[in-house]
Amino acid sequence: MPIGMRYMVLSALGFSIMAVCVKLVSAQSIPVLEIVAARALVSLILSYLTVRHKRIDLFGDKKILLFARGLVGAIALVCVYYSITHLPLAEATVLQFLHPMFTAVLAVIFLKEKLRAPVIVCIACSFIGLLLVSRPAFFFGLPSVEYSYFAIGAAIAGAFGSAIAYVLVRKLNETEDPAVIILYFPLIALPVSLVLLGNDFVVPDLKTTFILILVGIFTQVGQVGLTKSMQTETASRATSFSYLQVVFATLLGWLIFNEIPDIWVGIGAAFILFGSMVNVLWKR
What is the predicted pLDDT for the residue at 144? Answer: 41
Residue 251, burial from CB neighbour count under 10 angstroms (0-12, 13-18, 19+): middle
Task: Return phi, psi of residue 189, to 5°.
Answer: -65, -35
SS3 content of the chain, % helix, strand, coil (to 5): 80, 0, 20
Q: Of 223, 249, 187, 193, whose CA–CA distance to 30 is shortest?
A: 193
115 contacts 108 by C-beta, under 8 angstroms:
yes
Q: How many whole angstroms separate alpha carbon 247 and alpha carbon 280?
A: 17
Residue 191 confidence (pLDDT): 94
- Give pLDDT < 70 ranges for the chain: 1-2, 100, 133-147, 230, 233-241, 259-262, 265, 276, 279-284
Spatial separation of the C-alpha atoms in residues 228 and 189, rounded to whole Å: 21
Write the DSSP symbol of residue 242: G
* Residue-wise burial string across 95-121, b where 16 or more C-beta atoms lie within 10 A, e elsewhere: bbbbbbbbbbebbeeeeebeebebbbb
Q: How far apart are CA 9 and CA 19, in angstroms?
A: 15
